[in-house]
Each structure stands twice: as structure tokens, then as C-alpha cells.
Amino acid sequence: MRFSILPAFILLLPLAEIAGFVVVGRTIGLALTLALVMASFVIGVILLRKQGIGILRRMSSEGRNGVMPGRELLQPAMNVIASLLLIIPGFLSDLIAILILIPPVRDFVWRAIAKRFVVNAKGGFSPGPQNDFRDRKPNSKVVDLDEEDYHRDPKPNSPWSGKHLGD
């Protein structure tokens, strides 16, 4: 059984945020703790309004059109993610947001994400060096099939074949 770190992170994040509230509250007091939470919320809202949700729509549309989202789209998208993390009350999420806003961390994330993009070259889009299918590694998980390579024969007794609908 393979263990994934994401569900454990999602389960432990609220507990870590509560622990952060307790530690910070004991150190600086309740009023300053609430002031910090409200300040991070306001900063997050300002950043979100500045960048706007439009950047996420633009990334989605470029992905659907077969264009690999570039570094110029990732920077504002990471600002949107950081602003959402700042809006969430908690000091751990604020720390992650601040890390996302640091340029060397962004460059590290770009290097990690860029090699996972796969662009399907269809229509007038010509493959560039980052997505040339002929230079794919032999152990790649992507299988490129044409319409002639893949077809599905309908099963005659399948309720989804449409033959039994009019009977």
C-alpha cells in the first residue's frame, strides 16, 4: 500500500495551525495574535485583488489550447496561491505563503513543475524542444496514439451501446 503525504498533510495542518495559535498567543498575547491574523487576512485580500482570479482562468485556457503555461504565468499564479494562504487564518499557512513569495523558492517550484507538463501537439501547434515527442524517455508514462492506433469495438450486449434503448 502506497502512502501519500498529501492526505496526512491535510489532516495535520489544522492541528499545526491550532498549535501555532497557542504558541504565538502565549508569547505575544491574545490581542497581538488576533491583530497578526487580521493583518495577514487583509494583506492576502489585497494581493488577491491585485493579481485577480483572471490569471488562473488564463492558465486554464492556455492549457486547453495546447500552450504550455510559461514562467510569466506561474509567477502571478503563485501570488494568487500565496494570497489564498494568507487569507486562511493560521501562522503555518502564512509561513508557506511567505516562502512562495520568495523568488528563489519560485524558481525551485518552476523547475519542479515545468518538467511535468505534457502538451499534446495537435493542429497547428508545432512541438518545441520542451515537448518533442520523439525525444521522450523510454520509461515515460505518456502514450501517444493516433486514431488509427486506438479504437474500441462496442460490446453487443452492453446496456450502453444504444441498441437496447428502443426495444
Q: 42: domain range?
A: 36-116
According to the model, what pLDDT value does residue 105 have? 87
pTM of structure: 0.59
pLDDT tens figures, 37-91: 999 999 999 988 877 667 767 766 766 666 655 666 677 778 888 999 999 999 9
Question: Within a domain: residue 95?
Answer: yes
Tell whether the model's pLDDT for residue 114 goes beyond 50: yes
pLDDT-based confidence at residue 27 (cuts at 50, 70, 90): very high
How high does pLDDT run on average in the chain? 75
Sorted by sequence, the CB contacts under 8 Å of residue 69 that are 6+ apart come out as 59, 62, 63, 77, 117
Question: 123 or 57: whose pLDDT is higher?
Answer: 57
Question: Within a domain: residue 58?
Answer: yes
Name the burial class of residue 41, with classes exposed (0-12), middle (13-18) and buried (19+) by CB atoms within 10 angstroms of its CB. Answer: middle
How many domains does the chain contain in total? 1
Query: 161, 155 in Cβ contact below 8 A?
Result: yes
Question: Within a domain: residue 111?
Answer: yes
Question: Within a domain: residue 25?
Answer: no
According to the model, what pLDDT value does residue 71 have? 64
Question: Within a domain: residue 13?
Answer: no
Write out the three cell numbers for 49: 485583488
Question: Within a domain: residue 112?
Answer: yes
